[in-house]
Amino acid sequence: MSEPTDFRDLPLVQILGEKTAKALTRAFGFDTVGGLLGHYPRRYAERGELSALDALPLDESVTIVAEVVRVNNRPMNGRKGSLLEVILTDGTGRLSLTFFNQAWRARDLRPGARGIFAGKVTEFRGTRQLTHPDYELFDEEVEVSEEAAAKWASTPIPIYPATSTVASWQIARSLGVVLDVLPELSDPLPGDVRAERKLLTLRNALLAIHRPEVHDDWRAARDTLRFHEAFLVQTALLRDRARAKAAASVPRTPAALRAAFDAALPYSLTLDQASVGAEIDRDMAQAHPMNRLVQGEVGSGKTLVAVRAMLTAIEDGGQAALIAPTEVLATQHARSIAATLGALAEDLNPTLLVGSLPAAEKKRANLAIASGTARFVIGTHALLSDSVQFNDLALVVIDEQHRFGVEQRDTLRQKGTSPHTLVLTATPIPRTVAMTVFGDLDISTIRTMPAGRAPIESHVVPLADKPGWWPRVWSRLAEELDQGRQGFIVCSAIDATTDDAEAELLDDAPTTTPRHSVTETLPIARAALPGRRVEALHGRMSGDEKDATMRAFAAGEIDVLVATTVIEVGVDVPNASTMVVLDADRFGVSQLHQLRGRVGRGGLPGLALFVTNAENGTLARERVDAVASTLDGFELAQKDLELRREGDVLGERQSGGRSGLALLRVAIDGPIIEAARDAAERIVAVDPKLAKHPALRDAVARRLSQREREFLGKA
């Protein structure tokens, strides 16, 4: 195996030794010098700074800067050995350090000593404490003069994200070893871009962020490294776009089939539908594959736009496949597309393929797809199976793209020869997110809603403040049912122990109250709504059970569905007017907006009741209030972006993966992202393979590993 050519690719063990390298790898997952250099400080302290000790959170690992005020060593009661107790202060609060049988530490931990202390915060007899913490004391001997003392006291101390096994200063020490031998590094930023933005070289930025002499040092370094992240992501996405456009694809143009379909429509396309349709037509007429994202509100008519594109794809014998995230949605798509096609359906043979189909039906579907007699194919992940082969896959339509990873989308595309790709999402995307996550796609937007959509009234039911409102939820739902309408009750769990696998459940919701589950809520709903037909719908039911339940609900044979978010997307029952979301604080903004979009679809006024135990002023409550305050999904998308915590804009907490973004914050760094996009476009336009920019090419490969690229695509 050849030696790495770049210092950042060296294994940590080669620089730090086996023990330290293994500890860092176990704690943080990286095993190269570059991984350690990219572990940036989360904040900077000063030697003269004392932390707010009285506000430390219990049961969390913390790193603090503090001063020793008292030391006491005494024998332990009823046990052999001694207990060393050290009291720290910040001038207002106090924190106790306890050490068992380590009296020798009193030589260093004397009153007046200052340092960095790290450990897990616990409480004993009303006093917060750290037991056997790690610590590093400041070297007072450096104060040789007033000038030197002032500089020493004001030098920023990097505080790193740490764990219970690796403390912040241990990371700093390891970085010190690496920085002492840091050579010149190949800089991915071209010199003219760096000069234009007044940025540091990469080596100087890494030195300044890890070893700042003054606070302006790390601020300048952070600006440089933040731009690096944006620039590398944008370059990667633009290169993907250039690569896709270099592939050869069969041009597809609308003809008699599409004309017949349009002529039979009982309504006119909205202006946005027509405009987006024209963009798709232009893309599909090219000799390279279309890669377009269509975003639009729930009910804005994205599916109709997709059906028209599918008809274009099959004009000359091609096939079109639509993949949906759930069997409920795929089945409904198959049914509604067949109805929309009308008389054309007989010749086009719309075919459904989902995992729950009986073996004989699945075999017939596979044969129809392989032979090409199935021109329209609708399915779930079952379409990704190796046993599914297309005759001539011309167009791939991906509904609710955030449910599918890059690898899954590519698997479906590989079943054709550079097929055109159309991605649909009902989650409006702010510009900065779109540029960072979907920069390799062309983006179309449908804003206008079809005529006849009724308004939806939204209310928050704050049980934490007004527990007496709970009975009103049931009486308000009953009033809607009395008018011959139907409703949904959505829960975040199937039963007391099982989350809804489809939900984007968040973990900052109230924990003192039990969650509502489908199995527990069903009998409560039946008791509260006597004489009404109340049934359950969730992901643990078989495909046939779910389909039968949805058919009965659509036919009006069921009054209320108690369901998980399996009904979130695509479910279209015009007579459903009421959406009750229990534990609404456990869902994200976009998901609440999607759920609300299931009602008010048939000309009837809609009603959404968001029931929450979140207290006023909490982030969880802010999300619910935001959704209730507006029906504008684009406004909500921006609000969601503002409410997201650092590092969570790309959905990092839900996926468990890394976004590849350590410093860049999509919510606030829009100007940086746009500037990086412009710079990357200038380069990729003339050098799509980055042959003339080897440092940039290598940096993209190093920074965005395959796992991280897949994560960005899934977000």
3-state secondary structure 209-271: HHCCCCHHHHHHHHHHHHHHHHHHHHHHHHHHHHHHHHCCCCCCCCCHHHHHHHHHCCCCCCH
Three-state DSSP at 252 gives coil
Tokens of 263: 């002529």
Place of tokens 């495909």: 543
Instruction: Give me the percent of the chain exceeding a pLDDT of 90.
Output: 43
Backbone angles phi, psi at 119, to 5 degrees: 175, -175
Fold (topology level) of 47-154: OB fold (Dihydrolipoamide Acetyltransferase, E2P) (2.40.50)
Pairwise pLDDT comparison (355 vs 646), residue with the higher score: 355
pLDDT of 644 strictly over 80: no
pLDDT of 568 strictly over 70: no
Rg for the chain (alpha carbons), in Å?
30
Q: How do residues 68-81 score in pLDDT, each as one tens digit?
A: 999 999 888 777 88
**pLDDT at 648 (0 to 100):** 41
**pLDDT at 590 (0 to 100):** 81
How high does pLDDT run on average in the chain?
Answer: 84
Pairwise pLDDT comparison (451 vs 295), residue with the higher score: 295
- Other beta carbons within 10 angstroms of residue 496's beta carbon come to 11
- Other beta carbons within 10 angstroms of residue 706's beta carbon come to 10
pLDDT of 497 strictly over 80: no
Asked whether the beta carbons of 619 and 537 are under 8 A apart, the reply is: no
Instruction: Give me the percent of the chain exceeding a pLDDT of 70.
Output: 86
Tokens of 610: 């968001």
Type of residue at 455 = P
**pLDDT at 482 (0 to 100):** 95
For the whole model, what pTM was predicted?
0.68
Cα–Cα distance, 518 to 434 (Å, whole number): 35
CA angle 290, 295, 297 (to 5 degrees): 155
Type of residue at 686 = V
User: In this predicted structure, which of 194-198, 281-285, 512-516, 591-595 has the lowest mean pLDDT?
Assistant: 512-516
Using CB atoms within 10 Å of the CB of residue 406, give its burial: 0 to 12 exposed, 13 to 18 middle, 19+ buried.
middle
CA distances from 376 to 324, 331, 408, 615 (A): 14, 13, 20, 49
Over residues 648-655, the mean pLDDT reads 36
Fold (topology level) of 291-446: Rossmann fold (3.40.50)
**pLDDT at 133 (0 to 100):** 83
Q: What is the DSSP string of 275-333?
A: HHHHHHHHHHTSSS--EEEEEE-TTSSHHHHHHHHHHHHTTTS-EEEEE-SSHHHHHHH
Cross-strand pairs, 460: 610
**pLDDT at 502 (0 to 100):** 57
Using pLDDT thresholds of 50, 70 and 90, give the confidence band for residue 513.
Answer: low
Over residues 662-684, the mean pLDDT reads 88
47-154 shares its CATH topology with 456-630: no
CA distances from 659 to 237, 274, 505 (A): 14, 36, 19
Using pLDDT thresholds of 50, 70 and 90, give the confidence band for residue 559.
Answer: very high
- Other beta carbons within 10 angstroms of residue 552's beta carbon come to 14
Three-state DSSP at 613 gives coil
Look up the CATH superfamily of 456-630: P-loop containing nucleotide triphosphate hydrolases (3.40.50.300)
Three-state DSSP at 402 gives helix
pLDDT of 67 strictly over 90: no
Q: Where are the domains of the chain?
A: 47-154, 291-446, 456-630
Q: How many helices (H) and strands (E) does the chain have?
A: 26, 23
Q: How do residues 114-150 score in pLDDT, each as one tens digit?
A: 888 878 888 887 788 888 887 878 776 544 455 655 6
Q: How do residues 332-370 score in pLDDT, each as one tens digit?
A: 888 888 888 888 888 888 999 998 889 999 999 999 999
Q: Tally the residues of the chain.
A: 715
How distant is the alpha carbon of residue 464 from its chain centre? 28
Over residues 557-570, the mean pLDDT reads 84
User: In this predicted structure, which of 311-320, 409-418, 468-477 has the lowest mean pLDDT?
Assistant: 409-418
